[in-house]
Amino acid sequence: MKFGYDLYEVASDDIISLLNSFKKDHLIVFQLTKIDDNTYRFYLPIYQRFLARKYNMQIIKSIGILYYLVVLFCKKINIIGVISFALTLLICNRFIFKVEITGNSPSNTKLVEEVLKENNINAGDLKKSYQELNEIYDDLKASFKGKIDYLNIYQEGGVLFVKYTNSVGAKEVENNFQNIYASKDGVIQSIDVSSGNIVVQVNQFVKKGDLLVSNTITSTNGENKIIATKGKVMAYTYVTYQGEIDAKKMDEGEAFSYLLYTIRAKLGSIDKIDREKVLSYDIIDNKRVLKMQYVLIEDIAIKEES
């Protein structure tokens, strides 16, 4: 609830007639909830208080920025202070006040700092758009050149977070001659294989366990030869997550932000989020339920058949 709302409680044996009357007076009702057989609660915008007076309804509480501004003016607080407060909120919402880097290598952390500086990321700078964050993500990936296994960059409030983990190093030599299979379903986005017989192509749909790179080639004289396999097969993969919370704990906006944060935390070590889509956001059995779908770009190549 962004701007300001009053929570009302009314006793009515005919709630339909009351709502029709509200409609004639252009009153906008939010989150109508039945308390008992003839008691109801709902929110009306604060700016419609004068329209609601004729109904002699009891205000339970008020919430939102507009409510706090009304309180300030009612207490005759200096208007300059109110304007300063509003400007502070606006500034806090647009600027980066802290850059937090989490990793396990001082040299790589320094490299992150250098890349961020090149992209004009410092405390006090304007917050970046989703597209700009993706571009910075690509710059960081290119700078690390395989030194890391996991990289994530995101903003929360006035803080920009960069998290990474170092690469665990090369696999054992005896693993180099195994076939490469798909670890999950997906659509091939790119293929970067330095050794091996590639048996799939870009934009091809593959299922978990499908062969991607074979360790066998046939020579010109018809003989089969075993060769080493090495490389990455990036694919678009799809995952759906659902989160829920008691509908009475938070209002609609706060609950959505909380559920989105908890769902994103479930994503784990992925290479990149390509698309994020809200499938549904409803109240089911007195719970706010958010369902999200993600399209990820990740390396699905593994050296053992799933």
Each domain of the chain, given as residue ranges in start order, spans: 5-90, 98-166, 177-306
* pLDDT for residue 249 is more than 90: no
Distance CA 179, CA 298 (A): 19
Fold match flag (5-90 vs 98-166): no
Cα 214 to chain center, whole Å? Answer: 37
Q: Which of 173, 207, 174 is nearest to 300 (CA)?
A: 207
Q: What is the pLDDT of residue 192?
A: 92
Cα-Cα-Cα-Cα dihedral of 113, 117, 119, 121, to 10°? 90
Q: What percent of the chain has pLDDT over 90?
A: 23
Q: Which of 27-36, 227-236, 240-249, 275-284 bottoms out in mean pLDDT, i.e. has the lowest?
A: 27-36
Distance CA 169, CA 147 (A): 8
CB 227 within 8 A of CB 215: yes
Helix (H, G, I), strand (E, B) or coil at 10: strand
Q: Which of 273, 185, 266, 267 is nearest to 233 (CA)?
A: 185
Q: What is the mean pLDDT of residues 49-61?
A: 86
Residue pLDDT, tens place only, 130-147: 788 888 888 888 887 767
Residue pLDDT, tens place only, 58-115: 888 888 766 566 655 555 555 666 566 666 666 666 777 788 888 777 778 888 888 8
> Which CATH number is associated with domain 98-166?
3.10.20.310
CB 110 within 8 A of CB 101: no
Residue pLDDT, tens place only, 169-192: 434 444 578 899 999 999 999 999
Average pLDDT, the chain: 82
Q: What is the pLDDT of residue 121?
A: 80
Q: What is the pLDDT of residue 168?
A: 55
Q: What is the pLDDT of residue 203?
A: 95
Distance CA 117, CA 106 (A): 16
Residue given tokens 């698309």 in the structure block = 275
Structure tokens, 141: 């990936």
Residue 226 pLDDT class (50, 70, 90 cuts): confident
Using alpha carbons only, what angle is made at residue 7 by residues 5 and 10, rounded to the nearest 5 degrees?
140
* pLDDT for residue 206 is more than 70: yes
**Which helix (H) or strand (E) segment is 85 a member of?**
helix 79-92
Class of domain 5-90: alpha beta
**Which helix (H) or strand (E) segment is 138 a member of?**
helix 130-144
Q: Which of 93-107, 193-207, 270-284 bottoms out in mean pLDDT, i.e. has the lowest?
A: 93-107
Q: What is the pLDDT of residue 173?
A: 44
